Amino acid sequence: MSIPFTKVQGIGNDFILIDALGSNSHFLNRDWTMITPKICDRHFGIGADGILIAADSNNADAHMVIVNADGSYSDMCGNGIRCFVKYLIERADFKPKNRNITVETGSGIVQVEIHMSGSIVDSVRVAMEPVVLDPETIPVLNAQSSPDIHHTLQINNTTYDLACIGMGNPHAVLFIDMPIDDFPLTDIGPIVETHPDFPNKTNFEVANIVSPHHIKMRVWERGVGVTLACGSGACAVLVAARLRGLSDKQATVSLPGGDLKMQWDGTNNKSEPVYMSGPAQLSFTGMLPIPDTE
């Protein structure tokens, strides 16, 4: 059988979106754990950082299912949700009652604000929550404080001082003084991702504070590897920077794929969502052949 798909991207973080809404709900029954690594392969498949499946929801306007490129499921994806909402409005003929819609994810219901230009979605502002600071909930083992914003790991005779933040998925943030492109992310990233202190594995971000209003970062995504952008990672970086007194509550986070506008009014004693604004693009459509024996 063949399934229609839409290729989408948010500042270079790209996905294959499958519409399983309404009469297409049977698409959810495919074995996406096995299928996803094949179609996300950039040499032998379509190529993507993961897939997004649009499904019906009894609790929100729609349900977003996220599968990483390695076939593992993820609870939240900041860039993915912006692409997801743009697809709903522009291609799935979804008619929001106002500028706000809700999306069900593995980490809960997410509030999304849409900015339109006629029938086109110009930008999407996402209330990313919950911000998780409790080490047991993230989860991270051998926590050295709560919040665990100075978690030390010894890797290859070097001590790394990490800030552990949950954004519906686990993140470990390392602030560095060197240019972010000089950090050996492809070497250290997989070691941090699979370190025993992170029982569910972790995303790993390296960040450089340019000013209190500007942060540069790169990311090693759990289950994917190096990507051009990670929305939840940008949120984790801002939260970590704020908790360490390195950033203002509003900052631009620059990633290799582009910039995100971020705001967090919370503290370690005050729970607030991180507001993330950025673009999304629908790149192209096609048909995805999937053997019936999958």
Of 290, 247, 283, the closest CA to residue 49 belongs to 283
Q: Given the structure tokens 């706000």, which residue do they identify?
A: 100
Query: Is 203 one of the annotated binding-site residues?
Result: yes
Q: How far apart are CA 136 and CA 138, in angstroms?
A: 6
79 marked among binding-site residues:
yes
Strands 203-211 and 214-221: antiparallel
Q: Could you confirm whether 230 is annotated as catalytic?
A: yes
Ligand-binding site membership of 13 (annotated): yes
68 has binding-site annotation: yes
CA angle 22, 25, 28 (to 5 degrees): 150
Strands (DSSP E) found in 156-202: 158-166, 170-175
77 belongs to the catalytic site: yes
Annotated active-site residue in 40, 77, 164, 235: 77
The reply to whether 269 sits in an annotated binding site is no
158: left (phi over 0), alpha (psi -120 to 50) or beta: beta
Query: Does 294 carry a binding-site annotation?
Result: no
How far, in Å, CA of 205 to CA of 230, rounded?
9
118 is in an annotated binding site: no
Catalytic residue among 40, 83, 164, 230: 230
Is 232 a known ligand-binding residue? yes
24 is in an annotated binding site: no
Binding residues for substrate: 13, 68, 78-79, 169, 203, 221-222, 231-232
Instruction: Report, as residue numbers or ranges, the catalytic residues.
Output: 77, 230
Binding residues: 13, 68, 78-79, 169, 203, 221-222, 231-232
